[in-house]
Amino acid sequence: MTIETAAMKTLQIHADYMMYEPLRREGSVYEEVVPSVREFRDIVVLFTCVEEDDDEDVVSSLARQVAASLERLGVENLLIYPYAHLSNRLAPPQRALHLLKLLEDESQKLGLKVHRAPFGWNKKFTLSIKGHPLAEQFRSVTRESLQVTAAKAPAEATLRQVEAEGRETLHVQLGRELDLFSINPTLGSGFPLFHDKGWIIREELITLVRESNKAMGFKEVWTPHVFKSDIWYRTGHYEHYRDRMFTLVAKGEEYVVKPMNCPAHAMIFASRPRSYRDLPIMLSEFGTVYRNEQPGELTGLLRVRSITQDDGHVFARPDQVEGIIIMILRESLKILNTTIRGNIYATLSTRPEKFIGDPQVWEKATEALRGALERVGLSYEIKAGEGAFYGPKIDIDVEDSLGRRWQCTTVQLDFFLPERLGLEYVDSDGSKKRPIMIHRAILGSIERFIGILLEHYNWRLPFWLSPIQVAVLPVSTRNLKYAEQVKNRLESAGIRAELMAEGTLEKRVRSAHQLRASFMMIVGDEEERSGTCSLRDYRGHTARGLSLEKVVGWLKNLYKERVKNVGEIDESLSSLTQ
């Protein structure tokens, strides 16, 4: 026998037009209204059914999820429409009415403009549904899980589920709507083109990692995109990785578009004699590599053919390995906490049955990784025998807001490549030794990480990552000159600002909201006379009479500190009111 779990069920419709009319009361519990025709345009209709085990926590969870969905759609208006036909396990009428009123209150607190159709009436309605992929969504919120399952959203925490949906993923839709990036089939699948606003997000992430690299002592290098195939034969990649390589022949010689950066970094190490005193040598590169992924494997930014890695390679003595790993792990956790702030999961993959190198060296290296994890305070899972044949590794996964786990940071020890390429240093006793090579990436693929961030934040990025940090809106054309001065002041402080002066103020507010501007700075006659400004956040909260210079300072601090603020006015603004 199947036992069905009770749940608050909703059918969410993004409508061009909705009309309803109460016809007659039904049952003993109903709301007193004067029957009349109500019409709405560009509204989200939430057909809602309350089941017998639903409670206040379920309602709060549903309200948050619906608000996030409306944020993605760029819609503020919500119609809550009681609809008992979604279930045969209905809550008692009084209880259902109480929870529907609570849903209305919770949604209003989240900044939505809410209308609720009357409870206890037979109603007729006419509905015109928009034609985009997210126009129809079914949700089921249970008391046990307090999680929303949306028919149009990825339900599982792996890329396979995202691919299996067979539809345009959310971050691709956002990339198109916000002019962040595009993938043009004329140029080839898997080769994303980052537009100016998407470039901003890339550069902010690269700057974050670059600062971390500098703090750790990495030296940034640059290497070409194409090498002769000889190097790939020497490393063994040509034999084992050939089907993933892009190759070309020029003047009788074969070349490979690099699928990874490590051989080039190894050649930099080998370019001059090295002493034990020189080690560790730490090289970093934001290098784009190219891998011939199969067309069916390509998914938006999550799996591409041109991959920009926040790559790093360390050439170290055995006694240096643990300390270096500790440093890399600590910096990686800082960066993941700054960007995603999700649950962290670490794994340690150990020696497989087939391996190269001395078993004792393997054991010491594995213990160094284990010790580093414990020193940093990370709990971890051991994946026995799942290391690469050339060395053990640590992987760090982070969980996003949709409950999906993504592998981001990798720290891989390598005994193989130094041997194949003849890398060596002179030790303190004058003997020549092989360095241990450490491959390191923190975010992994910049493209993939941007896709993760866009979906993780429900399309509204933190202020420091936002392409449009402030939209400046003059109330009328006579305030345009002052608005231009405000925009110039913001830009001189390093804040990304756009002036939006075309159309009505209401239309421009809606446009700024849809473009995911973090804040709107509204300036009219009063602000121009007093040299102040009004600041509006994405929830519609507005702070008026603010000193422009103090607001600039507040925004600069949000940017400098990389706080999580996604465009929200908080209590720290109260001191800025004149």
The SS3 call for residue 97 is helix
Contact 559, 469 (CB under 8 A): yes
- How far is Cα 562 from Cα 556, in angstroms, rounded to an integer? 10
The H or E element spanning position 514 is helix 505-514
Which amino acid is it at 518?
A: S
Contact 458, 68 (CB under 8 A): yes
**Residue written as tokens 């962290």?**
344
- How far is Cα 511 from Cα 283, in angstroms, rounded to an integer? 44
- How far is Cα 62 from Cα 66, in angstroms, rounded to an integer? 6
- How far is Cα 161 from Cα 167, in angstroms, rounded to an integer? 11
- The residues near 369 (Cβ < 8 Å, ≥ 6 apart) are 322, 325, 348, 392, 393, 394, 411, 413
Contact 233, 282 (CB under 8 A): no
**Among candidate residues 237, 208, 260, 236, the one with its CA nearest the CA of residue 440:** 260
Residue 415, number of CB atoms within 10 A of its CB: 21
Contact 364, 318 (CB under 8 A): yes
Helix axes 548-561, 480-492, angle to 10 degrees: 40
Pairing between strand 121-129 and 113-116? unpaired
**Among candidate residues 100, 122, 123, 120, the one with its CA nearest the CA of residue 32:** 120
**Among candidate residues 307, 319, 343, the one with its CA nearest the CA of residue 449:** 307
Looking only at Cα atoms, what is the longest distance across the chain?
97
Give the residue numbers annotated as catalytic, written as ranges. Answer: 262, 291, 309, 311, 313, 393, 439
Pull the structure tokens for residue 9: 């069920």
The pair phi, psi for residue 71, each rounded to 5°, is -60, -45
The pair phi, psi for residue 12, each rounded to 5°, is -100, 125
**Among candidate residues 510, 498, 406, 515, the one with its CA nearest the CA of residue 455:** 406
Pairing between strand 113-116 and 497-499? unpaired
The pair phi, psi for residue 180, each rounded to 5°, is -90, -45
- CA distances 237 to 116, 255, 306, 394, Å, are 63, 13, 18, 22
Q: Which residues pair with 40 in a beta bridge?
A: 18
- How far is Cα 257 from Cα 305, in angstroms, rounded to an integer? 11
The H or E element spanning position 197 is helix 196-216
Contact 456, 339 (CB under 8 A): no
The H or E element spanning position 23 is strand 7-25
